[in-house]
Structure 1
Amino acid sequence: MTEPWSHILFSRRMLICVISGFSSGLPLFMFVYLLPAWLRSAGLNLTSIGLTSLLMMPYALKVLWAPWVDRWSITSLGRRRSWILCCLLGLIVAFIGLGWTPPHDLGTVSAWSLLISLLSASQDTALDALRREILPDNELGLGSSLHVNAYKIAGLVPGSLALVLSDIIAWPWVFMICSLFLLPGIAMSLLMREPASSNSAPHSLREAIIFPFKDFLERHGEQQTLLILLLVMTYKLGDGLATTLATPFYLDMGFSRSTLGLVAKQAGLIASVTGGLVGGFGMLRLGIVRALWIYGILQASSILGFWWLSLSHHGVFALAGVIAGEAFGVGLGTTALVAYMAQQTSMRYTATQFALLTSMAALPRSLINASSGWLVEHLGWSHFYLLCLLLSIPGLFLLLSVLHWPKVNSRGEKSS
């Protein structure tokens, strides 16, 4: 008997998806919103700020240590809970350390930022595996949408609250307050049960390293594996580049930090919540593959809002509309891609296989985003956003091949 959707939506599984999404998004959006705003306010140029994207490389390289996350538990809490708890505690320390560092001391700033990136990427590896292990296949779409929704909402802390506070209190206290929002994730890791499937850890490090990749190739085949990897690498390439310097862009357009925090950023909240729910429930009818296509088009279209805003001076309502459109479109695309990647993983090797896919998704964005400041300084904002739109097209073309693939579940069974 199928469980009513209302029971699924308000279940403990979905609550874990919400809290884990928030804990995952907060450190990442520190790089997207808070770090650029802090450095720009201190007078650093866009090229230097853009290069800080390279500090996010651990998100692209986490597959290298994901087998250790699959193989070992740090504490007696279990593989998933122990990694989540230790990473969150480390993130709080690193946030506070970064906040007390002078922004012109780029060496120390880079060291603290790199530590945040390493801990956040490791936490994501455990959180992705946890989510895959607690959700049955039919709940992946809704669970992923709630995770992504909370992930986006977490951006309001460094992207809204922090910007408002920075006009009132000193930057070190801003970073400290942001770190306190990681406490719900710590409570979750202490109070939840370790997933039953998490007890079937690989028996050796060799098995943890080799078998996940062997299993992935055997279930999908070489050609389909290549197409899957190319798809996750290119699907969010354009919108990822477009949002890298979003905060400096808004500041260069003449909007104050308080305006961004109090008015414009709030516009993204309703749009993000709506996009997440529409995306999750939409996948119940469309299926994940068709949702990738429809949501991908909407995601790419949201870039046009940045281009339009760059052409001439616009008011606060125009800015709010652009941010709302971005939050809705990108939220849809992210929801579909996360659900699709989860669907391709095996329950026995969730951490490593999920890390492989998310690493491949992050790698090209990290490399290209590092050039964002240089591109803006040489192309200007309007041509930069047209370039971002063009970079969204390859991922959409790859979906023409995806639509003909048979469905493959976590046990490797195919159906038409």
Structure 2
Amino acid sequence: MPARDASPARVSPAVVFVTVGGLYVAQSVIGGLTMLGLPAVLRNQGLPLDQIGLVYLTVLPWALKFLWSPYVERFRLPRVGRNRSRVIAAVGGSLCAAGLVAIGITGLSPLMPVLVALILVALVTSTVDIACDGYAVETLSKEHHGWGNTAQVGGSYLGSAVGAGLFLVLVDRYGWSPAVFSMAAVVFLLGLPFAFGPATRGAVETRPHTPSLVTALKRPAVRKGLVVAAIYVAAQKWGLSMLGPFLIDYGLDLATVGVLNGFGSMVVGLAGALTGGAAVRLFGANLVLTLAILLQTAMLLAFGFFDFGGSAPRAMVIGVAILSSSGVMALGFVALYSQFMGWSDPRQAGVDFTLFQCADSLVSMVGGVGAGWIAERFGYTAYFGIAAAICFAAAPAIYLLMRGRAGLATGAVSHG
């Protein structure tokens, strides 16, 4: 048996939740600013939808991070030595904050330097995420994986409330640069609890296992999990890629969209995550994932109807937007990400979990770029209609794949 560090097992799950959760919130501040806040700002300035769709190229590092995840894991978990998660998180957080400061200085015009800077920030953030996920899976015992899952999903909605909500309000009131500088400060501060928390107390360990992609892909749980992730993300995310521009075109101002994003993430998203967690325990992940897809189908059809009619009350449009982007998304993704944790091998959790997230990011990026092209050329009604059809078709596929969830579990590696 390898020599293992006993200290992580003695760390309170609540402490891990707070420290790791800070990193997840920081990542989602950047993600919310990029994927939800920036498209709304650009549309408010009159940019065409196909150019706004290019923002989804910033997802590229998240889609490809599986390529360098084994090297990150080997650095983080040396054959002999201390766990280096803290070093990766501290350096990465500082670089991300510096990158945001840079785009705050350069401004939005021209757009390409901003996109390049955000892609570099995403490269660093995705690398930190490999270490963060690995640390959470290996430190928390299986019965406490719910803490890590809550930190991920809850942190993503809290961070989105700041990055897509507060950020837009600040842009509307004070302009681009002060808003981005504020986000840079938030990202830096959120990384401090992990940098000075339990990750500093790791002992010297000997680790005979070498993390690798080949090891991960040999496991049936990982292979089928990648298919589940790709189908589910296409169903849930493709139809929401142009939600921010749609709301701007429907007549909402940046501050209103910002409040919508913030309220949705803080209240409805967290409520959806808690409901999803309880529903998974009561009814199983399969039913929760399928239900979430069917609910999202109805929401997308509603958006298409709003655009076609053009006369729906704004309150109704806002209500559906909040339920769709926060409530329904959280309901399903809390189930999906709990499965990701269960399917990951603790000896190389950063690699396995990263593969699932890369499937998520790759599908999101393809859908986001394609969404802008479709919406610009055929209009929002056709765009939401196509997305609803894809979403509806995914429901039986997910249900049938997840019926073999018990079989997936047998592909997991047991470590006593």
TM above 0.5, one fold? yes
Shift of 1:62: 0.3
Question: What corresponds to 1:3 in structure 2?
Answer: none
- For residues 10 and 379 of structure 1, do their structure 2 counterparts lie closer, same or farther at Cα, with a shift above 3 Å needed? same
Give the equivalent residue in structure 1 for 2:311: 313
Which range moves more in the overlay, 102-111 or 46-55?
102-111
Supply the distance in 2 between the matched residues of 1:400 and 1:195 (Cα, whole angstroms): 44
Return the offset for 1:53.
1.0
Contact 1:92 1:180 in 2 (8 A): yes
Shift in Å at residue 409 of structure 1?
6.5
Q: 1:11-410 alignment to 2 at 5 Å?
A: 11-73=14-76, 78-141=83-146, 143-194=148-199, 207-209=210-212, 212-217=213-218, 219-220=219-220, 225-262=222-259, 265-311=262-308, 312-326=310-324, 327-396=326-395, 397-406=397-406, 408=409
What per-residue deviation string (whole Å, max 9, x for no partner) do you get for residues 258-301 of structure 1?
A: 22223574244321111111112222333444433333433444
Q: What letter corresponds to residue 106 of structure 1 in structure 2? A: L
User: CA contact under 8 A between 1:239 and 1:388: conserved in structure 2?
Assistant: no
- Scaled by the length of structure 1, the TM-score of the pair is 0.86
What is the SS of the residue equivalent to 2:344? Answer: coil
CA distance in 2, matches of 1:215, 1:260: 41
* Contact residue 30 and residue 158 of structure 1 kept, 8 A: yes
**In 1, Cα distance between the equivalents of 2:282 and 2:260?**
35
Conserved 8 A contact 1:201-1:348: no
Structure 2 contact 160–261 (Cα < 8 Å) conserved? no
- Distance of 2:302 and 2:66 partners within structure 1: 34
Deviation (angstroms), 1:150: 2.1
TM-score, length of structure 2 as denominator length: 0.86
Contact conserved, 1:234 with 1:361, CA < 8 A, in 2? Answer: no
In structure 2, distance between residues paired with 1:386 and 1:366:
19
In the superposition, relative to structure 1, how do residues 113 and 270 fare at CA in structure 2: closer, same or farther (>3 Å)?
same
Identity of aligned residues (%): 20
Distance (Å, rounded) in 2 between the aligned partners of 1:322 and 1:9: 39
**2:194 alignment partner, SS class:** helix
| More displaced 10-residue stretch of structure 1: 361-370 or 224-233 | 224-233
- Distance in structure 1 (CA, Å) of the matches to 2:261 and 2:115: 29
Cα deviation, 1:96-120, whole Å, max 9, x if unaligned, reads 1112223232331222111111012
Distance, in Å, in 2 between the alignment partners of 1:264 and 1:363 is: 23
Aligned-partner Cα distance in 2 for 1:9–1:323: 37
Q: Decide whether aligned partners of structure 1 residues 199 and 345 sit closer, same or farther in structure 2, where only a CA change above 3 A counts.
A: farther
Distance in 2, Cα, partners of 1:52 & 1:163? 16
Superposed displacement of residue 400, structure 1: 0.8
Report the residue type matching 1:272 in the other structure.
Answer: G
Question: What's the C-alpha RMSD, in Å, of the aligned pairs?
Answer: 3.0
Q: Per the alignment, do residues 95 and 280 of structure 1 end up closer, same or farther by CA in structure 2, a change over 3 Å counting? A: same
**Aligned in 2, Cα 1:58/1:259: closer, same or farther, shift over 3 Å?**
same
Contact 1:302–1:329 (Cα < 8 Å) also in 2: no
Is residue 227–residue 398 contact of structure 1 (8 Å, CA) maintained in 2?
A: no
How many residue pairs were aligned? 399
Q: 1:285 to 1:138 in 2, by over 3 A?
A: farther
Question: Contact 1:52 / 1:110 at 8 angstroms: preserved in 2?
Answer: yes
Runs of at least 5 residues in structure 1 that lack an aligned partner in the other structure? 1-7
SS state at 1:398 partner: helix
Shift of 1:176: 0.5
C-alpha deviation, 1:13, in angstroms: 3.2
CA distance in 1, matches of 2:102, 2:223: 41
* Counterpart for residue 8 of structure 2: none
Task: Report the AA paired with residue 384 of structure 2.
Answer: Y
Supply the distance in 1 between the matched residues of 2:29 and 2:121 (Cα, whole angstroms): 11
SS of corresponding position for 1:208: coil
Q: Equivalent residue of 1:83, what SS?
A: helix
Alpha-carbon offset, residue 410 of structure 1: 8.2
Cα contact 1:263–1:320 (8 A) shared by 2: yes
**Contact 2:13-2:144 at 8 Å conserved across structures:** no
Kept after mapping to 1: 8 A contact 2:342/2:412: no
The 1-side partners of 2:403 and 2:195 are apart by 41
